[in-house]
Amino acid sequence: MKIKGKRVKKLLIFLGFFLSFTTFIYFGIYFIASISNKLDITRPNGYYLYDTNNELLNGASGEWINLDKISNYLIDATISIEDKNFYKHQGFDYLRIVKSLYVNFINKKTLQGASTITQQYAKNLFLTFDKTWERKIKEAWLTIKLESQYSKDDILEGYLNTINYGGIYGIENASYYYFNKSSSDLTLAEASILAGIPKSPSNYSPILNYDKAKQRQYTVLKSMVTNGYITQNQMDEAYNTNLEFYGYIYNNKLNTLRYFQDAVMDELDTLELPSSFLETGGLNIYTTLNLDVQTLVENAINDNFTNDELQVASIVMNPNDGEILALAGGRDYSKSQFNRALYAKRQVGSTLKPFLYYAALENGFTESTTFTSEETTFVFSDDKTYSPANYNKKYGNKDISMAAAISYSENIYAVKTHLFLGEETLVEMLKRVGISSTLEAIPSLALGSEEITLIDMVKAYSTLANNGYKIKPHFIKKIEDSKGNILYESEEYKEQVLNSSLTYIMNEILTSTYNYNFIDYNYPTCYDIANKITKKYAVKTGTTDTDHLIFGYNSNLVVGIWSGYDDNKETAIKDGKQIRFMWADIVENYFKDKEEQWYSIPSNVVGVLVDPISGKIADQSTKNPTMFYYIKGTEPSYKNESLESLIPTIKLE
């Protein structure tokens, strides 16, 4: 028994020594932290997004609201759910840490966290959220500095002014965003909803996910009852209160604006910047957004689409510098946050054809080059066959020009051109203009059977719009810290990948899609918007069973639109008309009261009046003589030659 007693005594001495030593170390660190350079937390560190007019986008007022101006309901709810011992610990809640480790170990998964409000605040002073040990050590040091240099009220005030409430930073901004009122006027029901968001901003935002937000609200209210802040009756009344959510940034009521904001933040993640807000004092992010254009896009969606299930995505970009002026990743961010403009890969249909025909121009084709429009089955090795059909099953059963093929979006002409050039030619061309998707060199590629994102297609079309230069689409112009120091500035990237004279010819060809001169056995694909267009544009549409697309441009603007169902359900023919009208509304409103933005004819290009369907030189009998453009020396003679005999074996049906 004496031996056992000695061991216990030694153990107690060791524990006492260990606790004394660790206490000495902790208070030593605490003392060093208290006399080190004081952290500046008296300004609202965070992200501040500005449009091209330097107006704030993300509801961040830049104003710091004092703790005594914030609703007590919000303060009590936050402390109760996030850190009930906030006013008792010195930055770390050790008992809570031990409890969470035990619960998580027993359940073999993370069910509880142990971060205090001070630790969360320290974490949110960083720009990134990597989980390296270096980062965790810095967070711990910041936690100690905060506790040693500031009062609890100061820390809580800073936390509430900077925390993320579902993409809206700071409680005052969040209060106006969700309820259109100051945080001083929040009710218990409203406060308990907001206090639940920071744990998982994307999951618990009541606008983005109402059901989960209500579940979280119940948890918040229950904790307030448990911790003695409210009674059960108050909880029941607050939980059953029917709340109406404002959901807009000040007076801006655009349902699509948050898609653009998300795109900005995604781009921000790719940039190399200082690691913490303490170094920057917050980031002022100057974006490429033109709010007037964003409004045009949203109005065009609302004016032309009545089917709420049908989704729409759109991008408006300056083709000369890659600045994205407006973006809609869907119809309503509050109903779906998936950004279809950037991340949805869909079949693009006939909108690939301009790049096929540009490649053809590089390989000796002209606007007048003809193939026969007729039902065709292509026969390959091993008796494999391919039988494409025109979208409306209409064929001329005669030779037609390339311009007519573009006007009608002829599939037979496109596949014949594709096979004549070799299937790898189009793959290489699409890579050249910036398409990043992996594409298969197959006959149907000419008809857009592969899946490509809208942003990639807009990037590709910009090479035609800017006379042959590949550019880099971007959302951020410049980033400054709180003192005005420039941390990042976008650099113009331009790489010439296409011939400017051939792009001029291609741009002229793409005006045939709404030119009444091409009405013959078929109609131009965009003839129904010809009377809505008052200026000259290059336009191409694309249609599959599940997708409708349109891309149109001039020298200063590219507009791309997609519509379809998220579940790939088949669309109706009328959906193609809606998307064309939407495009026309955007470009016509944008260029209203502006001068013509078309291209100057290159010195080595000549125009010749021809019959638009056959491509032959016009004479007195020509019904609708139309100007076609050619590199000098390639313009047609009275002898028009077809390339039909050079296509791989063709079996006529």
Which residues are catalytic, by number? 82, 350
What are the structure tokens assigned to 345, written together? 């890969």
Distance CA(424)–CA(438), nearest Å, equals 12
Location of structure tokens 């509430």 = 160
- Interatomic CA distance for residues 115 and 136, integer angstroms: 12
Which residues are CB-contacts of 432 (< 8 A; sequence separation ≥ 6)?
470, 497, 498
Phi then psi dihedrals of residue 417, to 5 deg: -65, -45
618: left (phi over 0), alpha (psi -120 to 50) or beta: beta
Residue type, position 215, single letter: Q
C-beta of residue 455 within 8 angstroms of C-beta of residue 342 = yes
Q: What is the dihedral of CA 58, 59, 63, 67, to 10 degrees?
A: -110
Instruction: Report which secondary-structure segment, H or E, holds 171.
Output: helix 171-179
What's the rounded Cα separation, in Å, for the pair 51 and 257? 11
Secondary structure (H, E, C), 252-272: ECCCCHHHHHHHHHHHHCCCC
Report whether 256 contacts 297 (CB < 8 A).
yes
Coil/strand/helix, residue 17: helix
Structure-token pair, residue 435 = 């398409």
Nearest to 426 by CA among 411, 443, 410: 443
Element (H, E) at 48: strand 47-50
Between β-strands 558-564 and 476-480, what pairing exists: parallel, antiparallel or unpaired?
unpaired
d(CA 147, CA 596): 63
Q: What are 438's two structure tokens?
A: 């992996």
Integer Cα distance of 161 and 447 in angstroms = 53
- Residue whose structure tokens are 């969606």: 301
